[in-house]
Amino acid sequence: MSQYELIIIGAGPVGLAAGIEAKRVGLRFLIVEAGTICQSLVEYPSGMRFYSPADELAIGGYPFPTPHDEKPTRELALNYYRKVASAENLPIHTYERVERLERTAHGFVVHTQRLPHRQPARYETQAVLLCTGIWGTPRQLTVPGANLPHVFTRYDEPIRFWRKRVLIVGSGNSAGEAAIRLADADAQVWLAVEPPTLEQCRFRPFILREVLLRVEEQRITPLTEAHLERILPDCVELRCAQGVESLPVDFVLALIGLQPDRRLIEPLGVPLGADGKPIHDPNTYETPVSGLFVAGALSQDGFIYIARERVRYAIAAIAARVRS
Ligand SMILES: Cc1cc2nc3c(=O)[nH]c(=O)nc-3n(C[C@H](O)[C@H](O)[C@H](O)COP(=O)(O)OP(=O)(O)OC[C@H]3O[C@@H](n4cnc5c(N)ncnc54)[C@H](O)[C@@H]3O)c2cc1C
């Protein structure tokens, strides 16, 4: 008999929701997490505010109260998920990264390394549910100089950029929001976007409004139809609708999206979609590799209110499988 019926990999909001459901249906399970609980949220920018209202971030039926029904900040969300994980007393091994999944006749062997000493461990399980999200592997720029030490793919405190010249690259909400927050922290901000206008970026309406306001105040300089040529230690060379620029900058912030980490799934031969996410059954969330399931941001469910419901389908399918 396997040590576990289920191993859940990742203790983000969806891994925690999966754990609560696994506990409720009586599965013998363990959650293995590379960092602390909700490690991705820990790494979000400080003070970042979710777009969803609190009730859409809540899991396990635990209410998520916020003052005046505000949309929660990262800090409030971390506090909430910590309380839920403690209240449920979920079996979670934190600071233990899953390095490899090995298929066996009865399921899988999950190979891990415990931090900080990289001590190896292994667990036998009948099923695996991958809740590893996509936060851990940001897309990187591919131009020469992208690996220079002043080029970042994330930031924590906007004040780090106080009175510095920063080129932000990206046309999505993260880039728009970073431009706003860095401009408000007295950085000199250029925002390099691919579309011909800011209105054509993938910004939510309130982000677009705030960006345009700062453009008007000359606190953000937009560079549209921008294509980076190369990054040098003290400047960036790029082509854009405003001409060919050699822009003197102190930092480059490339916020050009996230992609799934393929290291666990590819060796098992899991077929991937065009977005790099594992193909899975839309009802059971099982991949074509029998016994291997996905949920949350690693599946197509990018919003927590959708993923928290659908992870129950996966747990129901896993319970049915291990009991058959
Ligand atoms: C800036 C930003 C704003 C967002 N705003 C909203 C919003 O308003 N509303 C909304 O619904 N969603 C929002 N999202 C998306 C939401 O945060 C994600 O959908 C949610 O965090 C996904 O949860 P998850 O548990 O699938 O993945 P994650 O939260 O990314 O958790 C994955 C976990 O897996 C762990 N892990 C990864 N690899 C391994 C490994 N090999 N071994 C062990 N553990 C591993 C990680 O450390 C992490 O803790 C936002 C995302 C971002 C980036």
* Average of per-residue pLDDT values in the chain: 96
- Rounded to whole angstroms, what are the CA distances from 214 to 176, 264, 268? 11, 43, 48
Do 101 and 174 have their domain in common?
Answer: no
Residue bearing tokens 């891994």: 15
Do 159 and 130 have their domain in common?
Answer: no
What is the domain range of residue 103?
Answer: 4-136+258-323
Ranges of residues in the chain with a pLDDT under 70 are: 1
Provide the pairing of β-strand 235-240 with 243-248: antiparallel
Residue 139 phi/psi, 5-degree rounding, is: -65, 140
User: What pLDDT score was predicted for residue 1?
Assistant: 64
Do 115 and 192 have their domain in common?
Answer: no
Atom of ligand 1 nearest to the CA of 96: 43
The count of domains in the chain is 2
Do 121 and 267 have their domain in common?
Answer: yes
Q: Looking at 254, 281, 300, which one is the last position of a domain?
A: 254
In what helix (H) or strand (E) does residue 247 lie, and over which residues does it extend? Answer: strand 243-248
The Cα 244–Cα 232 span in angstroms is 15
Radius of gyration of the chain (CA): 22
296 within ligand 1 shell (Cβ under 6 A): yes
What single DSSP character describes residue 165?
Answer: E
39 within ligand 1 shell (Cβ under 6 A): yes
Do 88 and 198 have their domain in common?
Answer: no
User: What pLDDT score was predicted for residue 68?
Assistant: 78
Question: Is there a cis peptide before residue 282, judged by omega within 30 degrees of 0?
Answer: no
Atom of ligand 1 nearest to the CA of 258: 53
Residue bearing tokens 């979920």: 90
On whether residue 143 sits in a domain, the answer given is no
Atom of ligand 1 nearest to the CA of 131: 26
User: What pLDDT score was predicted for residue 255?
Assistant: 98
Do 164 and 132 have their domain in common?
Answer: no
Do 191 and 112 have their domain in common?
Answer: no
pLDDT in tens, 207-264: 999 999 999 999 999 999 999 999 999 999 999 998 888 999 999 999 999 999 999 9
The Cα 42–Cα 79 span in angstroms is 11
Do 246 and 280 have their domain in common?
Answer: no
The Cα 279–Cα 260 span in angstroms is 12
Of 74, 91, 71, 76, nearest in space to 16 by CA = 91
Do 276 and 228 have their domain in common?
Answer: no
Looking up residue 211, the CATH number of its domain turns out to be 3.50.50.60
Which amino acid, 310?
A: R
The Cα 126–Cα 48 span in angstroms is 38
On whether residue 40 sits in a domain, the answer given is yes
39: tokens are 């490690």
ipTM, 2 dp? 0.99
How far does the centroid of ligand 1 lie from the alpha carbon of residue 174, in Å?
14
Whether the Cβ atoms of residue 259 and residue 272 lie closer than 8 Å to each other: no
Do 289 and 229 have their domain in common?
Answer: no
Tell the residue nearest (CA) to atom 52 of ligand 1: 44
pLDDT in tens, 167-194: 999 999 999 999 999 999 999 999 999 9
33 within ligand 1 shell (Cβ under 6 A): yes
Residue bearing tokens 């062997």: 109
User: What pLDDT score was predicted for residue 244?
Assistant: 86
